[in-house]
Amino acid sequence: MAVRMSRNETAFEMATSAIRFGPGVTREIGMDIAELGLRQVLFITDPRMRHLAPVAAAEQSLSDNKVAYTLFDRVHVEPTDISFREAIDFARNMEFDAIVAVGGGSVIDTAKAVNLYTCHPPEDFLDYVNPPIGKGKPVPGPVKPLFAVPTTAGTGSETTGVAIFDLAHLHAKTGIAHRRLKPTLGYLDPDNTRSMPPQVAAATGLDVLSHAIESYTAIPYTERPAPDRPILRPAYQGNNPISDVWSMQALRMVGDYIARAVEDTSDDEARAQMILASAYAGVGFGNAGVHLPHGMSYPVSGMVKSKGYRQSGYPDNPSMIPHGFSVILNAPAVFRFTAPACPRRHLAAAAALGVDTHNAKPEDAGRILSDRIIAIMERLKVPNGLKALGYSSADIPALVEGTLPQHRVTKLSPRPAANDDLARLFEESMQVY
């Protein structure tokens, strides 16, 4: 019998949601759903957003267009498998032919999980979860239309087929990733980010920043093994010519607008450009992937509750570290480490953020990029390293252990990181500036 020889990938696939941008587009959601002949909607949001203008606008649009809906408003900020299951169990008991998600990445990711687990119930919850934690089974068929209305400018979840959550018993983040989970339509409405507190705008904006750099510096798609079947081609494929375009433009926009959006919440132009940048970066990383900063952030987020850290701007869950902060705290050390593998890409990222790199030497690429990131962190008053969250060198073995299962992202690093490398990167991230 002939044995199939392993070979590297020769193709990449660009998959993203349809996107609509403009002030007030949330008010169009009812018309869109009615015109598709969909009449019963599951409306997903979180307790705080339930009483704010974005939800009210979506509800009014559904009512005006005679679309019935049932509300689930118990999404957790930084969701867990437990909160996912709560939403899934709620949805199993009702009939619906579409889902509307209004909120941040936690809401949209929860909606994706509900869509998957109600359309294609698995034998075990971990069947669809990324390996090695879960089995990573592909989504076996179509899911229901999902209409996503982001209210933060950071996760890009409205463009991707990725749903991230904390696996409670491991105290670490993991996720589910497949193209079929991406929303049908994402509504980028700058009016919906007016209610973001400055620290939320900072954290989500820094997530955009890291999404874009990580996807641009990930391994090339041609360095991944080719799948046996197209359905097995991962959502995170490595950098490719199309994702590069979106990631780099997102970086330029972040460089120009992130400080303005954080420091003046009435700056309509800056807020609009940041919600666009979030989606642009989502298209980039949703197809290329992220790598070490995100992989290392997951145990930081999972373990921080035991440190007594309190984050302002998140009244519903002040004991957690915002995802964007947990990512960016590791980023300067990581990009100094990965730059020797592809210095031109690291310099290009720095240039997109406004650094003059014309006379820069390749060997300085990591320092130049990390210095620019640190300057942004200082201006936005980001916690100064992992020590500011309550971590110490004694926690590094556990942080490394929590990073090791994140193969989906860590293996996209342009420079492989062994256990000792990860330990050193966490040590360098204890104090950033």
The H-or-E segment that residue 428 falls in is: helix 419-428
Measured distance CA(144)–CA(86) in Å, rounded:
19
Predicted local distance difference test score (pLDDT) of residue 171: 72
pLDDT, tens digit, 9 for 90 and up, residues 345-388: 999 999 999 999 999 999 999 999 999 999 999 999 999 999 99
Reference 307, options 386, 412, 192, 361; nearest CA is 386
CA-to-CA distance for 155 and 147, rounded, in angstroms?
16
For residue 132, whether the previous peptide bond is cis, meaning omega lies within 30 degrees of 0, is yes
Distant-in-sequence, close-in-space partners of 45: CB < 8 Å, separation ≥ 6: 55, 71, 72, 73, 75, 101, 102, 103, 107
pLDDT given for residue 75 in this prediction:
96
Task: Find the helix packing angle between 331-338 and 198-217, rounded to 10°.
Answer: 10
Strands (E), 119-182: 146-150, 162-167, 172-177
Give the per-residue pLDDT at 313: 67
The residue among 222, 233, 235 whose CA lies nearest residue 175 is 235
- Quick one: 198-428 is in which CATH superfamily? Dehydroquinate synthase-like - alpha domain (1.20.1090.10)
Residues β-bridged to residue 136: none
**Cα 417 → chain centroid:** 22
What is 18-193's CATH topology? Rossmann fold (3.40.50)
Q: According to the model, what pLDDT value does residue 315 have?
A: 58
Query: Taking the CA atoms of the chain, what radius of gyration do you get in angstroms?
Result: 20
Q: How far apart are CA 361 and CA 153, in angstroms?
A: 34
Strand partners, 165: 174
**Residue among 383, 366, 379 nearest 429 (CA):** 383
Give the model's pLDDT for residue 320: 80
Whole-number pLDDT of residue 2: 45
**Which residues of the chain are under the pLDDT cut of 70?**
1-6, 313-319
Query: For position 251, what pLDDT does the model report?
Result: 98
d(CA 304, CA 97): 38
- Within 10 angstroms of residue 216's Cβ, the number of other Cβ atoms is 26
Domain boundary assignment for the chain? 18-193, 198-428
pLDDT digits (tens, 9 = 90+) for 103-142: 999 999 999 999 999 999 999 999 999 988 899 999 999 9
